[in-house]
Amino acid sequence: MPRWIASGAIRLGEWRRDPSRSYDKLFHVSPLVEQETFIRLYRSREFLASNFDQRPSLSQAAREACLSPFHYHRMFVRAFGETPHEFVTRRRIERAKQLLARDECPVTEVCLAVGYESLGSFSTLFRAEVGRSPLEYRRSLRRIFPAPHLAPYRFIPACYLLSFGSRPF
């Protein structure tokens, strides 16, 4: 797990327990990113997160933040430490892992459900991100979780576990 995700998860847990709960305490907002701009970027990131399967464009996300696409891209990287494309890709892979754990549909349907049009490009990207192909990933879950209804519990986000003092690793 990248260091910035782990540190963000720890800060999120601290932020949840803090009664004042302000955005500048949750994330390190660069002096170059104003709080209003950060809030607009955060809303657009939520737009990307909720529409990742519909292949949102950079211009659509920039419109949500009321910024030009080029300025939006620069500010997104400054605020969140990753590009909008990396964020959407990460969300797609996380969702694909959840769908593969359920074992209800073939890999092709998982590929289409998370917004990819080509099974080959999905499998290549999945292998690059996870370290194994989607089918190998599903088979490894069957060895870990012989009862398919228990598999989704493996996907509790690390930030959620950290906020309650549990170690996810």
- Segment 16-34, tens digit of pLDDT: 666 555 555 445 555 556 7
Return the closest-CA partner of residue 44 out of 84, 85, 94. Answer: 84
Show the DSSP H helices in 51-157 as ranges: 58-64, 69-80, 84-102, 107-113, 119-130, 134-144
The architecture that CATH gives domain 90-156 is Orthogonal Bundle (1.10)
Percent of the chain predicted with pLDDT > 70: 64
Rounded Cα distance between 122 and 130, Å, is 12
Contact 30, 79 (CB under 8 A): yes
Delimiting residues of CATH 1.10.10 domain(s) in the chain: 90-156
Per residue in 40-71, pLDDT (tens digit) is 899 999 999 998 888 888 999 999 999 999 99
**Average per-residue pLDDT for the chain:** 78
Amino acid at 85: H
Rounded Cα distance between 37 and 74, Å, is 12
